Each structure stands twice: as structure tokens, then as C-alpha cells.
Amino acid sequence: MRILRTIAEVRGAVADARGAGKSIGLVPTMGAFHEGHLSLMRRARERDGLVVVSLFVNPTQFGANEDLGAYPRDEQRDAALAEAEGVDILFAPTADEVYPDGFATTIHVAGLTEVLCGAQRGPHHFDGVATVVAKLFGIACPDTAYFGQKDAQQVMVVRRVVRDLNLDVRIEACPIVREPDGLAMSSRNVYLDADARTQATALNRALDAASAAAEAGERDASRLLTAAQRVLDDAGIAPEYLELRDADDLRTVDRLDADALLAVAARVGTARLIDNHVLKASA
């Protein structure tokens, strides 16, 4: 595996791979790898001739009071894990390489970014995500880019960028990877002490409760949300949001007449955690 720092190096490596007839798979990450990240790398390794993993804690998607400075970083550990998964290139640029002096372009996706995490974290968050992902697509020119379904809203935003800008890249959303007790794997889980770690399991249990109600035939959105809220109340968690929205465009829904995204965000201890289930209307 090669660790590359510059855009020119990555473009050169991708051009060589293309010349050899290889497809390109890209896994965009901010590092602090866990099994969720590794599952994306394995999927790319199965499908593509050249696997590129970006490791870049993107400053533009963090707000002034968010955890940019504290975000976990361990490049040596991440590099060892990526190499063990057969990754070909780890692209680990500096902020100046990605955002050179005079950088003045931002991609904004209207609508999708104004609810859920966009409403809580502010418009800068998904503007930063959309912009850096578009840059990574331009740098690595992947055939396929792999994202985790845990960040469901992010996946929807990226798909819209690809559609609206006619980018020639396929987006594959891979299933959420969970701990044995159901907690969705996240780099921010390292912030949880023992008590908060136990409390955090209520997020998935809340989603499970609503999913069970939907599978039993409940279609009223307010009742589905109530089933989830009870679990959070019992765990002492006040969510930033707990919402049921259309799985295609994030419109609010009153009834489960089409597939819907049940999404939750909450602060547990010092960590802000997110999770989601897709509720099937056909269940």
C-alpha cells in the first residue's frame, strides 16, 4: 500500500491503473477506522482493481463549537488497518493540499440539507461534505464510491450532487455495521465512558421498537415515533431529533405508505451519535 499526500500523486496512480484496465473504487473517510470503514474497504476490494481510501478530517464540515480539534486521529493505526484489507492507496493530504490559498468554491444542495443533521449542525455541514466529496471524485475519478448507510442523509446528499452535476460515479451505500449489543459503529464512540456506552444502546433499541411496530402493521407516523421515544425516555436520552421522513427526498410523512427513514440523533455523554432504520411500507 502507498500513502500519498498530493493530488498529483493520486491522479498519476489512477491514470496508471486506468491504463492497465482496472476499475477504481474510492472509500472517503475521516479516519479513526472501525469495522464499518473496513467493511467498505472489503466491498471495494471485491469489486475494483484499484482501491483508494481517503483519510482526511475535513475542516469545512465542522462548526465553531464542534469537535474538529478533538476528532480522533491515528494515521499509523489507520494505515495498518487499511493495508491489512488490501487497500492500494491511502490518500492522506493536508488541509492546504485540499483547500489551497484562495479556495472560494462551495457546493450547496438545497432541500435535503435543511432538515435532520442539517438543521442541527447548520448549513456549513453538508456544504462541507458536498464540496469535499466532489473534490475527491475529481481527484480519484472513481467508478464507484462506497459510503456507510449510518450516514443516510449524507448518502442522499452525495447522490444528489452526483445527479445534479452529472458526475460519472456510482454511489454504493453499504449496511450499517453494529456492535454485538446493537450500537452503530462510529469513530465518535471512543468518546463514550462506560455508563454512556451502555446508555447509547438505547438509540438502536428505540429504532427497533418502531420497526417492530411497523412490522406488526402500524402505519401512523406519530405512533411509530412514540414507540421509539418511550425507549429513549426510559434511558434518559433527549434526542436532538427523532423523525420519520420519506426515504427518497426526506419529506415529512404522516403515514408509512412508502419506505421511510427513521432517524435519530442525540448527545450521549460527550458524544453526538446518529443512527437510522429504513422502515418498509411493505412489511
Are both 119 and 230 inside the same structural domain? no
Q: Which amino acid is at 259?
A: D
Does the annotation place 263 within a ligand binding site?
no
Let me know if residue 180 belongs to a domain.
Answer: no
Domain containing 204: what range? 187-277
What backbone torsions phi and psi does residue 261 show, to the nearest 5 degrees? -95, 115
Whether 95 and 43 share a structural domain: yes
- Low-confidence spans in the chain with pLDDT less than 50: none
**Is 188 known as a binding-site position?**
yes
To the question of whether residue 103 is assigned a binding role by annotation, the answer is: no
* Residue 187 annotated as lining a ligand binding site: yes
| Catalytic residue list contains 108 | no
* Rounded (10°) CA dihedral 242, 248, 249, 254: -50
d(CA 159, CA 235): 35
Domain boundary among 174, 202, 236: 174
Residue pointed to by grid coordinates 432504520: 277
Residues 208 and 128 in one domain: no
d(CA 86, CA 73): 21
**Do residue 7 and residue 144 come from a single domain?**
yes
> What total number of domains does the chain contain?
2
Residue 34 in any domain: the answer is yes
For residue 253, give every residue at least 6 positions away whose Cβ sits within 8 Å of its Cβ, in sequence order, or none. Answer: 221, 244, 245, 246, 260
- Residue 167 and residue 31 share a domain: yes
State how far Cα 69 lies from the chain centre.
Answer: 19
Q: What angle do CA 279, 281, 283 make, to 5 degrees?
A: 85
74 and 154 in a single domain? The answer is yes
For residue 124, the model assigns a pLDDT of: 93
3-class secondary structure, 49: coil
Angle, CA 26 vertex, CA 25 and CA 31 arms, to 5°: 140
What are the start-end ranges of the E strands in the chain?
2-4, 24-29, 50-55, 89-91, 144-148, 170-174, 241-246, 260-268, 271-279
Verify that 155 and 55 share a domain, yes or no: yes
Residue 231 lies in a domain: yes
Order of all β-strands in the sheet with 241-246: 241-246, 260-268, 271-279
What size, in residues, is the chain?
283
- According to the annotation, is 218 in a ligand binding site? no
- Which pLDDT does position 89 carry in this prediction? 98
Note whether residue 283 is domain-resident.
Answer: no
Structural domain includes residue 158: yes
> Is 1 among the annotated ligand-binding positions?
no
Same domain, 101 and 219: no
CATH at 234: 3.30.1300.10
Q: Examine the domain organization and report whether 163 and 198 are in the same domain.
A: no
The one catalytic residue in 37, 124, 125, 277 is 37
Kindly state whether residues 168 and 29 are assigned to the same domain.
yes
Same domain? 220 vs 165: no
Q: What is the distance between the terminal CA atoms of the chain, rounded to a whole angstrom?
A: 44
Question: How do residues 96-145 score in pLDDT, each as one tens digit?
Answer: 999 999 999 999 999 999 999 999 999 899 999 999 999 999 999 999 99
Q: Is 117 part of a structural domain of the chain?
A: yes
**30 belongs to a structural domain:** yes
Q: pTM to 2 decimals? A: 0.97
Helix axes 35-47, 75-84, angle to 10 degrees: 40
Whether residue 41 is annotated as binding a ligand: the answer is: no
Amino acid identity for residue 279 in this structure: L
CATH number for 56 = 3.40.50.620
Domain boundary, last residue among 143, 174, 205: 174
Are 52 and 82 in the same domain? yes
- Does residue 179 lie within any of the structural domains? no
